[in-house]
Amino acid sequence: MASSAITPSAAGLRALSHPTRLKMLMLLRLEGPATATQLAQQLKLNTGAASYHLRQLAEHGFIAEDTERGDARDRWWKAAHESTRANLDARSGEEEAESAEAYLHTVALMYTETLMQHAEERRYLPAPWQAASTTSDWHLRLTPKRAEQLVEALAKLIDDWREDGEDASGTGSFVVNLNAFPRPGTVVLEGDDS
């Protein structure tokens, strides 16, 4: 992949706010290059719809054509980055705020779907994978600055926590979702005069 992360524009966040596109990007990142036909089969779409979503992802720099694969008939696509780092700055304009909110809703839906799938299959996992899994939460009292430092430290820790070599024996695809935010309803919102 060209670089490790992309920080999308407001238009890019809008493009990613479609669940199918976010799923396609995830599949290309996790499973490697694919054609529109292959992705259509996995996501139960028609090939035309898959091609449209792939073009939208390419337009915003999330994916690129894999020119080392395919021929005149098959067009292969690959992820252009390992991760997406959304800049959800509250001080941005209305358009950026709406794009960020739509993106967050889609991400929350995907996280929920993945967590529900884990809950359904957890008891069937081998014991070592059950022991390695958690759905823990912590409620801390922090200033915004300390909260930001915590998120940065956790992101760095997670980025550095990889097995050496992709084919290391006994490895599996392990999901880490980092959700960090003020508990809803506990912080006075800007513009709230009540």
Q: List pLDDT tens digits, range 11-44.
A: 999 999 999 999 999 999 999 999 999 999 999 9
- What pLDDT, on the 0 to 100 scale, is given for residue 91? 59
Structure tokens at 53: 């979503």
Q: pTM of this prediction?
A: 0.77
- What pLDDT, on the 0 to 100 scale, is given for residue 77? 97
Q: Is 60 exceeded by the pLDDT of residue 52?
A: yes
Residue matched to tokens 């396609």: 24
The predicted model gives 93-113 an average pLDDT of 89
Question: How many residues in total does the chain contain?
Answer: 194
User: Across 68-72, 93-97, 119-123, which has the greatest mean pLDDT?
Assistant: 119-123
Higher pLDDT, 55 or 188: 55
- What pLDDT, on the 0 to 100 scale, is given for residue 178? 83
160: Cβ–Cβ under 8 A, 6 or more apart, which residues?
Answer: none
Strand ranges for 81-177 from DSSP E = 81-84
- What pLDDT, on the 0 to 100 scale, is given for residue 188? 75
CA-based torsion, 89, 143, 175, 134: positive or negative: negative
- What pLDDT, on the 0 to 100 scale, is given for residue 145? 96
Q: For residue 75, give the nearest of 55, 101, 46, 99 by alpha carbon.
A: 55
1 band by pLDDT with thresholds 50, 70 and 90: very low
Structure tokens at 114: 């993945």
Q: For residue 134, give the nearest of 125, 146, 145 by alpha carbon.
A: 125
| Euclidean distance between the first and the last CA atom of the chain, given in angstroms as a whole number | 49
- What span, in angstroms and rounded, lies between the C-alpha atoms of 43 and 41? 6
Q: What tens digit of pLDDT does each residue of 150-168 get?
A: 999 998 898 888 776 656 6
Q: What tens digit of pLDDT does each residue of 57-83 get?
A: 999 999 999 989 877 678 999 999 988
- What span, in angstroms and rounded, lies between the C-alpha atoms of 62 and 3? 11
- What span, in angstroms and rounded, lies between the C-alpha atoms of 104 and 116? 18
- What span, in angstroms and rounded, lies between the C-alpha atoms of 120 and 22? 22
- What pLDDT, on the 0 to 100 scale, is given for residue 5? 85
- Residue 9 CB coordination number (10 Å): 14
CB 57 within 8 A of CB 25: yes
